[in-house]
Amino acid sequence: MRVGMIDDHESVSVGVRSALAREPGCDVVGTARTVAEWEELGLDADVVVLDLSLADRSEPAENVRTLRARGSQVLVYTAGDDAHAIRQAARAGVVGVVLKTAPLRELVAAVLAAGSGQPVPTASWAAALDADPGLDSAGLSPREAEVLALYAAGEKTVRVARELGISEHTVIEHLRSIRAKYERAGRSAPTKVDLYQRAVEDGFLPAPRRRQ
């Protein structure tokens, strides 16, 4: 089984590579700091261990799609502090998520499982998404999700209406419905700040990037 690692922290890549190299039948073909570099190097692997937050600020979901198009299974290895990125990557088709706080043996087990076509251990999936109640937990419609994303990001109702090609009155009605649904879900969002928080929690908006 060919395995690769994409992470912009050299110490992480070295540690993971060392652990995987000790596994019989596991051939670590290479590491890269970004998916673009992986492609430039012409590397291919059956399983790629991918960090979601890379220094080139590339989109996690796009990275996953790129690697899958090259025939690789993608296993996310993440700090787990961005539910939006995890959810988007999951939608793009990763085979599993392992937190960097988990024992290294959990990552090794997940890689071996992915490479052999077996179910990947799911403990880290649950932990990683624990802070994300679920995209559909409030039961928002696709249009309500669009309204929420624009409005919570800072747009005024008139601008949201213009962007979506609907009336401002319709936008206001959608916002009333959104607030009511979150209230029923036990996640009250009476203010715009609250709506922003719900949008981040549910993956409609990305979490703010931490300052380096």
Model pLDDT for residues 51-92, shown as the tens digit of each residue? 988 989 898 889 999 999 999 999 999 887 677 778 778 767
Q: Tell which wins on pLDDT, 183 or 35.
A: 35
Tally the C-alpha atoms within 13 A of residue 55's C-alpha that lie toward its C-beta: 10
Report residue 73 as tokens: 């299974």
Positions of CATH 3.40.50.2300 in the chain: 2-128
Taking the CA atoms of 211, 96, 198 and 166 in sequence, report the sign of the dihedral they define: positive
Query: In terms of pLDDT, which residue wins out, 139 or 67?
Result: 67
Q: What's the predicted TM-score (pTM) here?
A: 0.63
* Continuous segment of H or E residues that includes residue 110: helix 104-115
Higher pLDDT, 47 or 128: 47
| Separation of alpha carbons 50 and 33, rounded Å | 10
Segments of the chain assigned to CATH 1.10.10.10: 142-201
Tokens of 137: 């937990």
Is 146 in contact with 204 (CB distance < 8 Å)? no
Pairing state of beta strands 2-6 and 47-50? parallel
The closest alpha carbon to 141, from 180, 107, 87, belongs to: 180
What is the pLDDT at residue 114? 87
Q: In this structure, are residues 157 and 175 in contact, taking their beta carbons and an 8 Å threshold?
A: yes
How confident is residue 137, by pLDDT bands cut at 50, 70 and 90?
A: low
116-132 burial code (b ≥16 CB/10 A, e <16)? eeeebbeebbeebbeeb
CB 73 within 8 A of CB 115: yes
- Looking at domain 142-201, which of 2.60.40.2140, 1.10.10.10, 2.30.30.110, 3.40.50.720 is its CATH number? 1.10.10.10
**Residue 120's pLDDT band (boundaries 50, 70, 90)?**
confident
Confidence band of 139 (pLDDT split at 50, 70, 90): confident
User: Residue 133's pLDDT is what?
Assistant: 46
Within a 10 A sphere around the Cβ of 145, how many other Cβ atoms? 19
Topology of domain 2-128, CATH = Rossmann fold (3.40.50)
Separation CA 189–CA 138 (nearest Å)? 11
Residue-level pLDDT at 160:
95
Q: Please give the structure tokens belonging to residue 155.
A: 């747009």
Whether the Cβ atoms of residue 86 and residue 76 lie closer than 8 Å to each other: yes
How does residue 128 score in pLDDT terms, banded at 50, 70 and 90? Answer: low
